[in-house]
A and B are shown apart, each in its own frame.
Chain A
Amino acid sequence: MTHSAFDGYRPPEPPRGRRRRRRDGDRSPARRRGLGALGTGDGGREMPMVEDVEFSSYYGRPVVKAPPWGAPIGLYLFVGGVAGASALLGAGAALTDRPALRRNARLTALAAVAVGTPALIEDLGRPERFLHMLRVIKPTSPMSLGTWILSGFASGAGVAAAAEIDRLLGERLPLGPLRPVLRRAEGPAAAVSTVLGAPLAAYTAVLLGDTAVPTWQGARRGLPFVFVSSAALAASGIAMITTPVAQAGPARVLAVLGVAGDVVAMHRTKESMHPLEAEPLETGAAGRKLRWAERLAVAGGVATLLGGRNRWIAAAGGAAVATASALTRFGVLEAGIESVKDPRRVMIPQRERLEKRRAEGITDDSITTGPES
């Protein structure tokens, strides 16, 4: 079908059958051409792309954008969980009279916030404006609520940890008349951080779920469970490293519970997702991280269960589960950022749910409309 002499320059189109096969099932990561490869093609070569009835895209370009969140945010997801769960551990230890566990958990919580907050600020486009976060309280914005949770938590954890440090140093901090004030504030401050601990560990899952990023959005029903489990096992892992076995019993139990919760929640989350949305959690660098996270978590959990009363085994198991938690957070973050690169992950689940609604007779909520007949 040649229209003019110039059509002779059009490169031959690839056979259509190959395209068809590519659409269904082929899961190899090399399935898509990278954007670099697109840059070398020409308009004509792209034509078969839109012949595909079931999936068409605009030159394979992304439809939605991932937030510009890098490693500092991954770190924050991890230490935020550590901080939240450590505050809970500290509260339990205070109630059950385990001074070493209480002290270590509170210091861990403060250290975690002290690492996480700068990480959060560092990833802003305009770090000097970080206080703008506190201009408003916005219930529709998980980032806003999270910032308030973090601020409240950090204040509470800071006071509680200051009291611990003072005690640790034999009351040698130059506090003067402020010491009684600190002592009296310690209880309420610790209570604040305890109350905000679990929300601090859980809100980041909502932060990721409340986006148009396919993998995060698809994971929204299970991700909070993954994140709180991950937080619990990270905090107890660190407590097992820092605290003598005599007082770390609850941390060991919590670590094992956390491992079980983490593994189960991750699997159920993936099951609840569209296969295309779940794919980035299983492939590529993110998939590798998550696989190692699971292995380390299980290994650490088993070690804790079998040899947790040995100081060294406890420390090794604790390190394993804490690392697993960090890998989980980085893996989930990276999987989401990866997921926007392929427009199929956005288009196909959306097209399927639209056709499903239409088949069920719901036809008035489509963004695409024809003329009224």
Chain B
Amino acid sequence: MGLPSEHEDTGAGAGWGHSHERKGFFTDTSICIGCKACEVACKEWNRNPQDGDLEILGSSYDNTGSLGANTWRHVAFIEQDQERIEQARESGRRLVGLGMPGIGPRSGADAPAGAGGCGSGCGSRPGADGEPGAADRTPPDTPEFRWLMSSDVCKHCTRAGCLDVCPTGALMRTEFGTVVVQSDICNGCGTCVGGCPFGVIERRDDGTISAKGDRGRVEQDVPHHGTANKCTLCYDRLVDGQTPACAQTCPTTSIRFGDRADMVDEAASRVRQLHDRGMTEARLYGANGNDGVGGTGSVFLLLDEPEVYGLPPDPQVPTAQLPAMFRTAGIAAAGMIAATALAFLGGRR
């Protein structure tokens, strides 16, 4: 029996016996306009209850807050000034040629050196010696101000922490390689909530909201109350050959949907294109199969460090440490037995 998270091939490896193409999103934040159509379409299609009390959160145009049980797409808004944009451009430049083994030439020699510690002198390293596709890489004028907008979603990890730790088998890997909760199985134990390194999945607990003014608490229709909920990558639409609601509604094609391999290819050529235009702040998030979660089904193109968007910079699936933890616990348990034995031997006196 294989462990759920150990299969690169998330389709066949998950026991489906056939190899559907793995599906995924490519969210290109560089063309997101922050219209939140994806949030709305997601809510409507999935009949997700209202989240919170309709407050103004004071975070630019983001009054949604974060992903959660009732919010499966979340559009982040970040306001940045010129200095911060320049820093983003610099940190993105340092990523050139790092990561993603097996795709493109990574001539071991130049990749590692000075990657972490290089200070101001790095700027000259990449792009210096006549590479293919010699495009104009002079950075465009740095704007004085910019908005970053990014539609976040469940990453549908290759090695999904939520899936690994679910004790009921409610979380499953679908034939599309996505991760879905079976709401009729889930008993709401909440283990998956802590298992997700991205803080995506959540238990749908409180279905009531307080309406504005003095109307008091209002009951709303809350499906799947008390169970864990998250993005299903519109499993119900996929089985009918449809596109997920968010991707279908996105007016700028910032959210793209398709075979995961194609998504990664598109993402790689898009980040390349932006770098060629001098927008070195562009970088990919989740496209690397070697990362702590084995690559994500939802790939992102970001324009600054992941932290800025509220994404963890080095997420690792907790279960990667599980064998070591079981070993430690075994030693501890043996110690406990030994201490008890000692107590009885010593207690004879």
Contact = CB atoms under 8 A, between A and B. Distances in A.
A292 to B, nearest CB: 23
Contact of B194 (A65, A126, A229, A236): A65
Residue among A45, A55, A136 facing the most chain B CB atoms (10 A cut-off): A136
A65 B198 CA distance: 8
A368 B310 contact: no
A65 B344 contact: no
A186 B304 CA distance: 65
B306 A368 contact: yes
A20 to B, nearest CB: 14
Contact of B328 (A45, A224, A231): A224
B346 A369 contact: no
Contact of A350 (B103, B117, B314, B344): B314
A325 interface: no
Interface stretch (A110-118, A175-183, A248-256): A248-256
Nearest to B311: A63
A233 to B, nearest CB: 10
Interface residues on B, range: 35 or more
Contacts of A198: 333-334, 336-337
B235 interface: no
B278 interface: no
Interface in B131-174: 131, 144-145, 161, 164-170
A354 B311 CA distance: 14
A84 to B, nearest CB: 8
Nearest to B305: A56
B223 interface: no
A227 B330 CA distance: 12
B328 A365 contact: no
A67 B167 CA distance: 14
Contacts of A141: 164-167, 191
Interface in B211-226: 225-226
A201 interface: yes
A41 B58 contact: yes
Contacts of B170: 132
A212 to B, nearest CB: 4
A368 B227 contact: no
Interface stretch (A158-166, A277-285, A310-318, A356-364): A356-364
B328 A64 contact: no
A108 B315 CA distance: 42
Interface in A128-179: 129-130, 132-133, 135-136, 138-144, 146-147
A364 B99 contact: yes
Given A366-B291, A368-B313, A130 B187 contact: yes
B333 A210 contact: no
Contact of B319 (A46, A64, A140, A213): A140
B126 interface: yes
B167 A138 contact: yes
B73 interface: no
A257 interface: yes
B288 interface: yes
Given A64-B196, A258-B339, A370-B97, A199 B272 contact: no
A346 interface: yes
Contacts of B315: 212, 350, 367
A105 B210 CA distance: 50
A15 interface: no
A355 interface: yes
A354 B68 CA distance: 27
B308 A56 contact: yes
B284 interface: yes
B33 interface: no
B252 interface: no
A86 B70 CA distance: 43
A92 B338 CA distance: 11
B98 A135 contact: no
Interface of A: 1, 3, 38-47, 50-51, 53, 55-59, 61-69, 85, 88-89, 92-93, 95-96, 123-127, 129-130, 132-133, 135-136, 138-144, 146-147, 198-199, 201-203, 205-207, 209-213, 216-217, 220-221, 224-225, 227-229, 231-232, 236, 249-254, 257-258, 261, 340, 343, 346-347, 350-351, 353-356, 358-359, 361-373
The 8 closest A-B pairs by CB, nearest first: A125-B188, A372-B104, A58-B310, A370-B95, A125-B226, A211-B194, A361-B112, A250-B347
Given A125-B203, A351-B314, A372-B104, 11 more contacts: A43-B58, A67-B191, A127-B187, A251-B343, A261-B335, A361-B112, A364-B101, A367-B314, A368-B306, A370-B96, A371-B96
